[in-house]
Structure 1
Amino acid sequence: MKKLYLFISALILALSANAEKLTSFLEIINIEDGSRRIVKTFPHKIEAPNWTQDGKWLIYNSGGKLYKISPDNPQNPVEINTDFADSCNNDHVLSPDGKEIAISHHSKEDRQSRIYTLPIEGGKPTLITAAGPSYLHGWSPDKKTLSYCAGRKGNYDIYVISATGGAEKRLTTAPELDDGAEFAPDGQIWFNSCRTGLMQIWRMNPDGTNQTQITFDETRNSWFAHPSPNNKLVAYLSYQKGDVKPDSHPANKNVELRVMNCDGTNARTIAKLFGGQGTINVNSWSPDNKHLAFVSYKLESE
């Protein structure tokens, strides 16, 4: 299902490109006061910015490749060498020590997404998941484990695997879509699931036990929970109920960037924007816990 919606979203975007021009805005928002700053405007699609551990770079994907850009001196983005992996999607994750990056790359042979790791400065990727499709989302604090959403026998669930490869372990079994599995600094895994009818934010132990619903908002479908570095706040993206199917996170929609406490209290909207797929697919917190990086978009008739 996830693969189908990703394909449909990409197809719609490709078809609309003949009549409309897409502009991407790489932005930073202050969590406290909601002030926004555009780092750079791109005349094409970019997606999923995340901060390096030292705060000096934002890494994003565009056209199947990865780039880094300085949030303070953004004139010249730098391409990260990913060797043969030139069909990366917006599921790149940085290792806790900042030395490596994990990616999801679609192979030319079967077009299935699989997970690889490589040095943060670039290099030849190492295959981690033999089976596809596998969509990366998290890296454990001890650097030993990767978490991801995978389609196996027609159902998409959350899996974990050693960061060096090996046998994968299935953590969720709900027939509905479970997605966006990301490790928090305390080792818990945050994810989103539409097992209750709407897409909601959940949390579980790293072994899959104690799966607990965190959001109960019947007006929104919520995706991609990202815990802050100090583990006090969680950022996530929401679509209005009825605007999309619960198991879909398409591009080019009016969405809300929201933040809540890690216990689910004090959930609030900090920004409304045109975006969705590509806006905050990865953890985009600044190292100081004060800002989020994200991408908003604009479609204009040519």
Structure 2
Amino acid sequence: MPRTLQPGQRCEVWVGSALTGSRELICSTDSLLLEAPNWTPDGSALILNGAGTLWRLQLVGRSLAAIRVTGVPALNNDHVIAPGGDRLYLSAEDGHLYRAGIDGGDAERVTAADGFAHYLHGISPDGGRLAAVAIEAGDFSRPGRLVTMPADGGPFTAVDTGPGHCDGPEYSPDGAWIYLNTEAFTDRPGHAQLARVRPDGSRLECLLRSASVDWFPHLSPDGRFASYLRFPAGTLGHPENLDVEVVVVALEDWTTPLYSWAVFGGQGTLNVNSWAPGSDHFAFVTYPFD
């Protein structure tokens, strides 16, 4: 079921600067729980999900309007925009991936009934392949596995990331790497760390060894910066309604944050790439209580 706000809770959409560390509130609502912004390639809007559907938040005028996608079950917060900006790839609550136009309309399923639940996080720079997490039989007691597949549909290819759960796989802007979080570098349950791997499964590398539980690395389009979400030590998964940190780093140094913001959020705050096309700003969502 789609998430909803609790009594006394608000949803706030923010834009943070990777250059100055400032942030600006661009939307606040106590009636709709929005999640996981994508920034449109033309720079004009954010695409978010809420109440099982998609929403467009125009940055000029800051109007919010539903994007009607038909022929698809309720959507979750794993969605990406194709490089050309004309199509969306979506994850739905039935565990399948779908494709639709940027303005909505009929959706087309692109995953097969292969016994896995699929959760989308990345698309290659040429738009040809998707990067997703596949969970066997939709059983969340089993670890998620990194897979890639043709964007037009077809069998997936498993990419070995070692033991433990992995999540948030996203192609680098040059397509040479897939960035993700993984438990492969620890024996502590749930202790996700940031990593990258070649799309063929070679050269799995840990980017940052930390005491926190780190999720969802997102690279800016020019490859200068990355954002990610820092959960408290001992967190299992990426739950909602926690004190977390949104972190910005320079790509050559993951150990020294350029900026960080302590926020109340978690699930929905930064699940997908939300960088502006100019690579200087990115969006995230918080869920404070009054």
TM-score normalised according to structure 2 size: 0.90
Q: Structure 1 residue 255 and structure 2 residue 239: aligned?
A: no
Alpha carbons 1:146, 1:161 under 8 Å: kept: yes
SS at match of 1:298: coil
1:274 aligns with 264
Letter in 2 for 1:81: R
1:67 aligns with 55
The offset of 1:259, in angstroms, is 1.7
Matches of 2:143 and 2:208 in 1, distance apart? Answer: 23
Alpha carbons 1:92, 1:102 under 8 Å: kept: yes
The offset of 1:30, in angstroms, is 1.3
String of CA shifts for 1:162-212, please: whole Å, max 9, x gaps: 001111111125331011100111111001001213210110111221111
Alpha carbons 2:41, 2:277 under 8 Å: kept: yes
The offset of 1:134, in angstroms, is 0.5
SS at match of 2:221: coil
Q: 1:210 aligns with which of 197, 203, 213?
A: 203
Matches of 1:21 and 1:127 in 2, distance apart? Answer: 37
Q: Structure 1 residue 289 and structure 2 residue 279: aligned?
A: yes
Matches of 2:149 and 2:253 in 1, distance apart? Answer: 28
Matches of 2:143 and 2:25 in 1, distance apart? Answer: 39
String of CA shifts for 1:92-146, please: whole Å, max 9, x gaps: 100111111000012xxxxx32111111121211111124310000000011100
Matches of 2:27 and 2:148 in 1, distance apart? Answer: 35
Q: 1:238 aligns with which of 215, 227, 230?
A: 230
Q: Structure 1 residue 199 and structure 2 residue 192: aligned?
A: yes
User: Cα RMSD (Å) of the superposition?
Assistant: 1.7
String of CA shifts for 1:237-258, please: whole Å, max 9, x gaps: 001213x12xx10011111111
2:131 aligns with 147
The offset of 1:262, in angstroms, is 2.2
Q: CA 1:208/1:136 → structure 2, altered by over 3 Å: closer, same or farther? A: same
SS at match of 2:104: coil
Identity %: 32
Residue-pair matches, total: 277
Alpha carbons 2:71, 2:108 under 8 Å: kept: no
TM-score normalised according to structure 1 size: 0.87
5+ residue gaps in structure 1? 1-6, 107-111
Matches of 2:205 and 2:218 in 1, distance apart? Answer: 16
1:223 aligns with 215
- Structure 1 residues 19-98: aligned runs within 5 Å: 20-43=7-30, 44-74=32-62, 76-98=63-85
The offset of 1:266, in angstroms, is 4.9
Matches of 1:122 and 1:30 in 2, distance apart? Answer: 30
SS at match of 2:43: coil
1:4 aligns with none
2:111 aligns with 129
Matches of 1:118 and 1:212 in 2, distance apart? Answer: 34
SS at match of 1:123: strand
Q: 1:105 aligns with which of 89, 92, 103?
A: 92
